[in-house]
């Protein structure tokens, strides 16, 4: 039951973040706006980082990316790289589920195509693939490396 509650709360956060992420706000402005809505700094930062990344993964798979990472890289207080499992990040998994369901079942008033595209387009992963495609390089069969997270320390991402 706890997992369902976590997922429902995370999905609500994703839905709150979508209009902000689809707007012309930078990451600091998105996180600040989420904090004004009552999210903690940590949750606001997670939503700002994870929702675009999750949305992009759906598009990347459709473009033929063969492998996506099972973790992110964050840094501890000593600047050592730490693997942060994707599956433990509820905002990421809620956004990924929403993105896949939207791709499978179609756009909605809650998540129109324009919002989806703008949010996915914010991600570092999508940026890297777009740069490759600009040079007419194929991404078919490519592997995406883990996203490096700098807005939160590893400890903040791993606590729950």
Distance of CA 32 to the CA centre of its chain: 17
The percent of residues above 90 in pLDDT, for the chain, comes to 80
The number of distinct structural domains making up the chain is 1
How is residue 148 annotated by DSSP? B
CA 26 – CA 115 distance, rounded (Å):
16
Residue 103's domain spans which residues? 2-158
Which pLDDT score is estimated for 156? Answer: 93
pLDDT of residue 1: 38
Residue ranges of the chain with per-residue pLDDT less than 70: 1-5, 160
Expressed in angstroms, the distance from the first to the final Cα of the chain is 16
Predicted local confidence at residue 124, as pLDDT: 92
Instruction: Report the predicted TM-score, pTM, of the whole model to 2 decimal places.
Output: 0.92
Smallest CA-to-CA distance from 85 within 69, 62, 105, 108 is with 69
pLDDT for 137: 77
CB-based contact 57:71 (threshold 8 Å):
no
Whether 107 contacts 42, CB under 8 Å = no
């Amino acid at each position: 039951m706890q997992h369902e509650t976590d997922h429902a709360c995370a999905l609500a956060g994703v839905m709150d973040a979508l209009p902000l992420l689809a707007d012309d706000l930078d990451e600091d402005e998105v996180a600040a706006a989420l904090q004004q809505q009552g999210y903690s700094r940590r949750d606001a930062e997670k939503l700002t980082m994870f929702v675009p990344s999750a949305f992009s993964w759906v598009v990347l798979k459709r473009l033929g990316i063969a492998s996506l990472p099972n973790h992110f890289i964050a840094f501890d207080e000593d600047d050592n790289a730490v693997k942060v499992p994707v599956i433990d990040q509820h905002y990421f998994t809620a956004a990924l589920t929403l993105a896949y369901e939207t791709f499978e079942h179609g756009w909605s008033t809650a998540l129109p195509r324009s919002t989806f595209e703008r949010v996915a387009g914010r991600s570092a992963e999508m940026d890297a693939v777009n740069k490759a495609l600009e040079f007419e390089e194929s991404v078919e069969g490519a592997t995406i490396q883990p996203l490096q997270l700098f807005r939160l320390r590893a400890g903040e991402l791993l606590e729950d």
